[in-house]
Amino acid sequence: MFKGSFVALITPFRNGAIDGKAFSEFVHWQIAQGTDGLVPCGTTGESPTLSHDEHKRIVELCVEAAGGRVPVVAGTGSNSTAEAIDLTRHAQAAGATAALVVMPYYNKPTAEGQYRHYKAIHDAVDLPIVIYNIPPRSVVDMSVETMARLAALPRIVGVKDATQDLVRPLRTKLELGAQFCQLSGEDGTALPFLAQGGHGCISVTANVAPRLCADMHDAWQKGDLAGAMAINERLLPLHRALFSETSPGPVKYAASLLGKCTADTRLPLCEIGDSAKQMVEKALEGLGLTG
């Protein structure tokens, strides 16, 4: 269903509030740069610090700005099943293409609890759902076996896999079939993820290097492995810089250097340190993205 370079969109702030103008302009720029799909209100969009009204407004702004040109996979997850249902119903009403639902964090549900959580959301909406499996942030990891149970439901269509386990996509493909969409959630291993059965990446780096990220996926899809590898190697210093501190601090600083938004984050995230800033500046300069 989904393939190529999707961007895990940042949420621009100005004076403590959402900068809707900057966000809409950012979406237009992403599409013009070749980004294949948009993911608002994920981890990179600082969803944990958005109010419900702000969260819903960002989804609405994204759908409006996209104008049907590319898919919008709206982040709608929560560690409260009822809250996730509410956000997913809103995304459907707003016109999103699909919902990205993160594994319930902090609660540490069992495999059965994970299954029932996603099934409850699935049964409450008509929207395709992509599971977001990110053990480093949610603590719990969804097994391939549990994912296979969920994939039997008609609207569970794929996974954003941020496990960094490069055996996982091949296992998932063999267990669930090639039609189950697998999107990497980890920029540094996106290319080998594709080689192991993946279809694309939901990328942090695409916020500031959308053309290069899109070109890498385009090269892969055309069978140009050498070209994809060359772009992947060029991007690695930027990937490393953007995770030199907790994301999205570094990527918002990078976006500010490109004039796309302020570097502001919301507490408990704060301004990144000088060494991280220098890494980001050097990586952007190395790719010719800044003066």
With CA atoms as reference, report the closest residue to 56 among 31, 26, 79, 88. 88
Cite the active site residues.
132, 160
Please compute Rg for the chain using Cα positions: 18
Classify 231 as helix, strand or coil.
helix
Cβ–Cβ contacts within 10 Å for residue 108, how many?
Answer: 13
Beta carbons of 152 and 116 less than 8 angstroms apart = no
Cα–Cα distance, 133 to 203 (Å, whole number): 14
Does residue 248 have a cis bond before it (omega within 30 degrees)? yes
Cα–Cα distance, 267 to 91 (Å, whole number): 26
Which own/partner contact pairs does 228-235 have at CB distance under 8 Å and 24+ positions apart? 228/191, 229/191, 232/190, 232/191, 234/287, 235/187, 235/205, 235/209, 235/287
Beta carbons of 189 and 162 less than 8 angstroms apart = no
- The beta-strand segments (E) located in the chain are 4-8, 13-14, 17-18, 37-39, 73-75, 98-102, 129-133, 156-161, 181-184, 200-203
Does residue 268 have a cis bond before it (omega within 30 degrees)? yes
Question: Maximum distance among all alpha carbons in the chain?
Answer: 53
